[in-house]
Amino acid sequence: MSKKATFLPLNLSLSPFLLLLLYLLTLSAVVVHGVQEKKILSVHNNIWSLTKSNEPSSSCLSHNLAKGRESSSTTLGMKHRGLCSGKTIDWGKKLRRALTLDNLRVQSLQLRIKSMSSTTTDSISETQLPLTSGVKLETLNYIITVELGGKNMTLIVDTGSDLTWVQCQPCKSCYNQQGPLYDPSVSSSYKTVLCNSSTCQDLVAATSNPDRCGGSNGVEKTSCDYVVSYGDGSYTRGDLGSESIQLGDTKVENFVFGCGRSNKGLFGGASGLMGLGRSSVSLVYQTMKTFNGVFSYCLPSLEDGASGSLSFGDYKNSTSVSYTPLVQNLQLRSFYILNLTGATIGGVELESPSFGRGIIIDSGTVITRLPPSIYKAVKTEFLKQFTGFPSAPGYSILDTCFNLTSYQDVSIPTIKMIFQGNAVLEVDVSGVFYYVNPDASLVCLALASLSYENEVGIIGNYQQKNQRVVYDTKQEKLGIAGENCSI
């Protein structure tokens, strides 16, 4: 009883002090929370300050590392020969040009979306391939090297495309690529896909290519011709063939691909493109029995020149992956669509009527595009938290820009995208700002607004860096986990 009598007066007498203490603790918690929701960016520690690559050619050889992976998987550690070119690189010009090309790609995707919307087991293996930034090949997309008919081919990885293709001999019109063109005449495993085959008809259905089996001038067509246009003036024309393709330690026979005889475009020095879309002609579908329709990638940061990885088959590691359902859309069945339910800037939740709508995740687009209402909320909150830095004029599609030349390290708010099922993509610190000028005199928030609210948003590869993104087409889900992608 005496304990109770002593205890109560003490509480009452100290209550003003306790209230003050609680108030101070609350303020302290807010400060700590703010620190947790920001990251440090080293402004001048990036590849853009480099002008040359002078690595010896021996360092560009491909190696099978297979480090720390299960026996059924393969990891190749290598660098593309473009890293050894020693050419002088104007990064400022390249980065500014990349924005223009990216805008053309997105315009093309939006037109394609509108067009599409208006129309109505064996043992599973795992293979990993090195996934390298394409900046040395004059593209901000990501590249891998595979063996096609025993020859190394460097391909741009694109989840927004279906058909895999390479430049082929004889070539009527080809862009300059690093390394020799694929020559089907010297491969014993190459086969021509006939025009009247079911494979050719699958191409017609998947890519909206016209059926050209009728021929001309009374001569019946035997080869299966294709045309793929990318909207930015880039295209590939040729004929379908089948060939063995080596993905790490896994060899796939009779892989159907495009043999490009007339190709033009902004593919840098790559040999061609790897289509990882969802149609029947994509690599994902063609290897369904081998890899169970599962692939994942971890995109390395552009700034450090590191290699990431592209994996086929169930990805097994210690990282906890959170999953979100893939949205089913029959009109847009070639794309991977997620339900974006929310976003936070520095821990502050944003509001927009466009949350809860579908957004495409795409490895071929660079800068993320958001519906105007979401972008406005992101920009407003970001500017509230990123204060005291000199502003700079916008450039191209980017309108939230700064001059950071006099700063070494800056604290920037975190950016998180939240999807159905509470899967979260926290943008890596290297994916928040885009360097329009390599000297940091023009650094912009690496997000852009769509023109109209009813256009479909796109999550670009710039915001996917240092994330393990798992595509499970059989289970119809996509997984996300933060991961250091450098290998």
Strand bridging mode 322-325 / 225-229: unpaired
CA distances from 396 to 73, 100, 281 (A): 42, 7, 35
**Tokens found for residue 122:** 């064996």
- Among 70-79, 266-275, 417-426, the range scoring the smallest mean pLDDT is 70-79
Question: Other CB atoms closer than 10 Å to residue 94's CB: what's the count?
Answer: 16
Q: Strands, E, within 371-426: which ranges?
A: 391-392, 401-402, 409-413, 415-419, 423-426
Per annotation, catalytic residue among 158, 202, 225, 472? 158
What's the predicted TM-score (pTM) here?
0.82
pLDDT at 160: 87
Please determine, for residue 200, whether its predicted confidence score (pLDDT) is greater than 60.
yes
pLDDT tens column, 421-473: 999 999 999 999 999 998 999 999 999 999 999 999 999 999 999 899 999 99
Please determine, for residue 261, whether its predicted confidence score (pLDDT) is greater than 90.
yes
Please determine, for residue 88, whether its predicted confidence score (pLDDT) is greater than 60.
no
Question: Could you give the CA distance from residue 82 to residue 135 in angstroms, rounded to a whole number?
Answer: 9
Strand bridging mode 151-158 / 272-275: parallel
Per annotation, catalytic residue among 225, 239, 362, 428? 362
Count of all residues that appear for the chain in the document: 487
pLDDT at 58: 36
pLDDT confidence band for 86 (50 / 70 / 90): very low
Please determine, for residue 204, whether its predicted confidence score (pLDDT) is greater than 70.
yes
pLDDT tens column, 322-347: 999 999 887 787 899 999 999 999 99
Question: Could you give the CA distance from residue 28 to residue 12 in angstroms, rounded to a whole number?
Answer: 25
Question: Could you give the CA distance from residue 422 to residue 429 in angstroms, rounded to a whole number?
Answer: 21
pLDDT (average), residues 2-20: 37
Residue 362 known to be catalytic: yes
Domains of the chain: 123-316 (2.40.70.10), 318-486 (2.40.70.10)
Return the percentage of the chain with pLDDT > 70, whole number. Answer: 72
Return the percentage of the chain with pLDDT > 90, whole number. Answer: 46
pLDDT tens column, 288-321: 998 899 998 888 876 555 678 888 888 776 568 9
3-state secondary structure of 315: coil
Question: Other CB atoms closer than 10 Å to residue 93's CB: what's the count?
Answer: 10
pLDDT at 239: 94
**Tokens found for residue 62:** 């491909």
Question: Could you give the CA distance from residue 202 to residue 365 in angstroms, rounded to a whole number?
Answer: 26
Question: Other CB atoms closer than 10 Å to residue 477's CB: what's the count?
Answer: 17
pLDDT confidence band for 250 (50 / 70 / 90): confident
Question: Peptide bond before 372: cis, by omega within 30 degrees of 0?
Answer: no
Please determine, for residue 3, whether its predicted confidence score (pLDDT) is greater than 50.
no
Residue 439 known to be catalytic: no
